[in-house]
């Protein structure tokens, strides 16, 4: 993720990664009380273009608001800082990881001080490019009555780690998590879509992270005239679907071959997922409008 030349953005300054230090008494280290984002940039003829940068930083700010972290940065400042991190590290196709972490504080109280770090590195397809074999996880997504599931909180990712390790130790590529009521929720780091009789379905908001890629897929469906509905469905219903895929910033769009012992019957090359995958890979490589207008 970093070497001796890597620079990071830390509290409004560019500093060497090897010289940037955190504090062991941080509330984030002690309690998992922090917020983060995962963002991708793509090489374009106008230089690196950060896909949906504004949407990601809006979600970062919203996540902070939901858990009482006061983040005094505007979306514009955060986007600008992100481009600076890419430029100073000579990165084009890259993954950006902003994290909001807190000052030393051992009490279960609101933060005493807030820090913002943005790192970036080159990162290939997070779930690879092969169709995935999933297992229904024994770990549920966190109950929305216990935490704010719609916030991208550092501590929530213990749930994602447990589900992923369990899936891999049992010979699967990835997990599928259900919500507290037993409906299909999402993957450890991706949202799910299924295709049935030429129509797409994705779990409704409420028990999942509102993915930026999920929202992009919904936009692409509208644009391409594909039918798509947000609703609750059970794992049993999912096991009658023709095809399914995961989507996320890191994973992009990736087909699912099998869930437990159910193989999705529709060939990926014929699926709506494949059509969306191709469209997405073009869309992310179109320079964002601010890049094009900056050069004029």
Buried b (16+ CB within 10 A) or exposed e, 202-224: bbeeebbbbbbbbebbbebbeee
Taking CB under 6 A as the rule, does residue 213 contact ligand PMP? Answer: yes
Phi, psi of 248 (to 5 degrees): -175, 165
Taking CB under 6 A as the rule, does residue 209 contact ligand PMP? Answer: yes
Chain centre distance of CA 205: 15
Taking CB under 6 A as the rule, does residue 192 contact ligand PMP? Answer: no
- The reply to whether 152 belongs to the active site is yes
For ligand PMP, the closer of residues 186 and 242 by Cβ is 186
Which of these is catalytic: 13, 61, 152, 239? 152
Could you tell me which stretch among 72-80, 195-203, 212-220, 279-287 binds ligand PMP (CB under 6 A)?
A: 212-220
Q: Which of 111, 203, 211, 287 binds ligand PMP (CB under 6 A)?
A: 211
**Cα separation of 179 and 186, whole Å?**
8
**Cα separation of 46 and 183, whole Å?**
43
Taking CB under 6 A as the rule, does residue 38 contact ligand PMP? Answer: yes
Give residues with Cβ within 8 angstroms of 103, minimum separation 6. 23, 26, 27, 111, 112, 113, 114, 115
Helix (H, G, I), strand (E, B) or coil at 48: strand
Taking CB under 6 A as the rule, does residue 191 contact ligand PMP? Answer: yes
Could you tell me which stretch among 2-10, 24-32, 186-194, 253-261 binds ligand PMP (CB under 6 A)?
A: 186-194
- Residues annotated as catalytic are 152
- Could you list the residues that contact ligand PMP (CB under 6 A)? 38, 160, 186, 189-191, 209, 211-214, 248-249
């Amino acid at each position: 993720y970093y070497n001796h030349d890597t620079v990071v953005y830390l509290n409004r300054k560019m500093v060497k990664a090897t010289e940037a230090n955190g504090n062991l008494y941080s509330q984030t280290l002690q309690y998992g009380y922090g917020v983060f984002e995962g963002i991708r940039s793509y090489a374009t003829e106008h230089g690196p273009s950060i896909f949906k940068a504004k949407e990601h930083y809006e979600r970062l700010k919203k996540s902070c608001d939901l858990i009482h972290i006061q983040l005094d940065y505007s979306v514009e400042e955060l986007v600008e800082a992100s481009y600076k991190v890419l430029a100073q590290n000579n990165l084009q196709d890259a993954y950006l990881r902003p994290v909001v972490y807190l000052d030393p504080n051992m009490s279960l109280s609101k933060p005493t001080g807030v820090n913002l770090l943005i790192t970036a590195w080159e990162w290939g397809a997070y779930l690879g490019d092969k169709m995935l074999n999933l297992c229904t996880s024994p770990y549920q997504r966190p109950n929305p009555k216990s935490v704010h599931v719609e916030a991208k909180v550092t501590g929530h990712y213990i749930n994602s780690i447990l589900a992923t390790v369990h899936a891999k130790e049992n010979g699967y590529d990835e997990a599928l998590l259900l919500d507290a009521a037993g409906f299909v929720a999402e993957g450890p780091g991706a949202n799910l879509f299924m295709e049935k009789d030429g129509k797409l379905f994705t779990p409704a908001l409420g028990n999942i992270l509102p993915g930026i890629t999920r929202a992009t897929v919904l936009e692409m469906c509208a644009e391409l005239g594909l039918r798509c509905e947000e609703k609750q469905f059970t794992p049993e219903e999912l096991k009658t679907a023709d095809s399914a895929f995961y989507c996320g910033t890191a994973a992009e769009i990736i087909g699912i071959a099998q869930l437990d012992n159910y193989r999705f019957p529709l060939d990926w090359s014929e699926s709506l997922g494949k059509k969306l995958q191709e469209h997405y890979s073009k869309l992310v490589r179109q320079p964002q409008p601010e890049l094009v207008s900056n050069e004029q």
